[in-house]
Amino acid sequence: MGLKIASSLAITSLFALTYALVFIISIWFLPFSIVGLLIMLSFTLVIVLIQYAISPYLVQWLYAIDWLSYNEYKARYPHLAETLDKVLSVNKIKMPRLGIVNDLNPNAFTFGHTKNNARVVLTTGILEFLNEEEQQAVLSHELGHVIHSDFILMTVVFAIPLVLLTIARWAYYTAVYSGRGSGDSKDRGAFVIALFAVAVASYITYYFGYLISLFISRIREYYADEHAAEVLQNPNALSSGLVKIAYGLVADHGVSYEERNRSKTRALRGLGIFDPNTAKYFASGGLTPSGSYSNETIAAAAAWDLYNPWAKYYQLYSTHPLPAKRIQRLNQQCPIYSKKPEIDLSQAKKIKEAQAGKSMAGEFLTDLFFKYLPLIVFILFLIFTIVWAVTYFTAFTLPLFNTISIPQIFLIWGVGFYIIGFGFIAKTGFKYRSGFEPRTIVQLITNVKVSPIRGIPAIIEGEIIGKGVPGYWLSEDLYFKDKTGLLYIDYRFGLKIVDLFFALARVNRLIGEKVRIIGWYRRGPNPYFQVHTIETTYGKRFKNYVKPLTYILAVICFLVGIAFFYFWLNPF
C-alpha cells in the first residue's frame, strides 16, 4: 500500500511540476511569441491525453478491486450476468472487466478507454442493500456509460475549458511580463491592454465552458438512467435503488457486521408513522408492509433537493443531477413501459412548507451572510481604502475622505482586521453549533432546513461499515449505518497530512466497529455528517479539531490588526 501511495503522489507531483516548468519557460523566454502559446496549448493537450491513457491503470492501482472472470461472476451473481449478456448482445460490445470492491458503502463506477475496454465495478454494499432488480438497474446504468462512449466524450468535453484556461493564463502572464521589454511605450500599452482583454475574455469563456461541461455530464447521467430503464423495462428499479444509495434509506434490526455477512436475509421493523402536517422539526420515518420506507419519508428526504435554495447551487456545479431530479425524470418514463411510478414525490412541497414555510430565502441569505461575513467586511474596507486613495493622491474631493491621513488609514485597517477576526468567530459559532442530541439517520435525512453552513448538532450511534470512497486506499472519510439508514461520515481535518495519516492508520481499523459519533449533520449534493468526535466500544476516541482550527484565522486577523495599530502609533 505504501508503494501505491508513494507512486500516486509522485505521479501527481511530476505532472504539476512539469506543467509549471513548461509554462514558466514559455512565458519567460517567449513572452511575445505565438510559439509560446502553441507550446502551452500543445502541452495541455498532451497532459489530457496522458491522463486519459493512464487513468484506468491508476484507478486499478489505487483502489482495492477484486477482479472476477465472467464465469465466476455468473456463478456468484447470475441475475447480473443475465443483464450483462443482454446488454452486450444488443450493443455488440466486448465483455468488460468485472470487479467487486469489498465495502458496504453502496456504490458503483465504470472506467476505461473505450466501450470495448471497459471496467465495471460494484461494491458489496450494492449487493447487500439493494434487491436483485435494483442491482440490475445499477449495473445497467453503468453499462449505459460504456455503450454511450462517455469515457471519450467527457474527456473531450472537459478538455475544451482547459484549453481556454491555458489561453487566459498565457495572455495574462504575457501582458504582465511584457513591460520588461523595450520599444514604443504607446504601442506596448495598446498591446498589453489587448492581452488583458484576451485574458479576461478567455477566462470568462473558460468559466462558462466549465459549467457547460458539468451540464453535459449531468445529461449523460440522465441518458445512462434511461438506458437502465430500457434494459429492465422498468424505471422504478433504479428509482428505488437511488433512494437507498443517495439518501441511505435502508432499515433493519441492526444486526452486526459479521452477522450481516453470514446472512442475506434481514427482518424489518416499523419506525412509526410519518405525518407531514405535524410540522415537527424532525420527521419520523415509516415503513411499508414490504419493509421499504414509505413515500412520505422518501418525499421528505427528497424535499431538500427540490426546494432548498442550496440545491440549485449544488446542481449547477455537480457532475450528477440531484437524486430527486433523477427520480422525477425516471417517473416520467414509466408510461413508456406501462408502469406506475412507485416513488411518489408529490408530498415533498407540503412537507417542505410544514418544516420551513413557503420560502426558504431567509435561511439561505442568512447562510450566505455567515459564510462570507469575513470576506464581506474585507471588501468593504478595501473599497473604502480605494476611494480614500483616489481622494488623497488626486485632486478629487470628498468631504469625509479628504480629512483622513495615512496614519489614520492604518488605524482604520487595524479596526477592520479586528472586525474581520470577530467575523470568523461569528461564522464558526454559526456553523459549529452546540446542543448535541441523539438522532437517527432517518430523522436527519428528512430535515429540509439544513445546509453546508446550517448544520444540525447531533449524536448518532451505529456501525462503521465502509469507507467514504469505497476501495480507495487514501479515503479518510467513512460510511456509517444505524438501524434506520446509511450516512456518509466526513472526517476531513483540514490539513492534508493529518487526513492522510487518519486514512492510513485509522480507517481500516474502524470498519466493522460499533461507534458513537458526535458532530454536525449537513447537506450538500448528498447528505453527510461532519465529525467532532468518534467514540468506539473499546474506549478509543478520535477527535477532529477542524472547529478549533478555524479560530486560528481569527487570531491571525487580530495579530495583523495589532500590526496596523503599531504603524498608526509609530508612523513612518
**Catalytic machinery residues:** 142
Residue 550 one-letter amino acid: T
Contact 159, 206 (CB under 8 A): no
Helix (H, G, I), strand (E, B) or coil at 393: helix
Task: Find the helix packing angle between 2-29 and 34-62, rounded to 10°.
Answer: 180
Strand order in the sheet with 108-112: 66-68, 97-101, 118-123, 108-112
Contact 160, 150 (CB under 8 A): no
Neighbouring C-beta atoms of residue 1, cutoff 10 Å: 11
Phi-psi region of 183 (alpha: psi -120 to 50; beta: other; left: phi over 0): left
Q: Where are the alpha helices (DSSP H) in 334-405?
A: 348-356, 361-371, 373-393
Contacts of 543-550 with C-beta under 8 Å, sequence gap 24+, read: 544/491, 544/493, 544/519, 545/493, 546/492, 546/493, 546/494, 547/428, 547/432, 549/493, 549/494, 549/495, 550/424, 550/427, 550/428, 550/431, 550/432
CA nearest to 59, candidates 128, 126, 11, 129: 11
DSSP string, 253-303: ----HHHHHH-S-----------GGG--SS----B-TTSSBPHHHHHHHHH
Cα–Cα distance for residue pair 61/72, rounded to 1 Å: 22
Q: Residue 532: in which H helix or E strand, if any? A: strand 527-536
Segment (H or E) for 566: helix 546-569
The DSSP bridge partners found for residue 462 are: 515
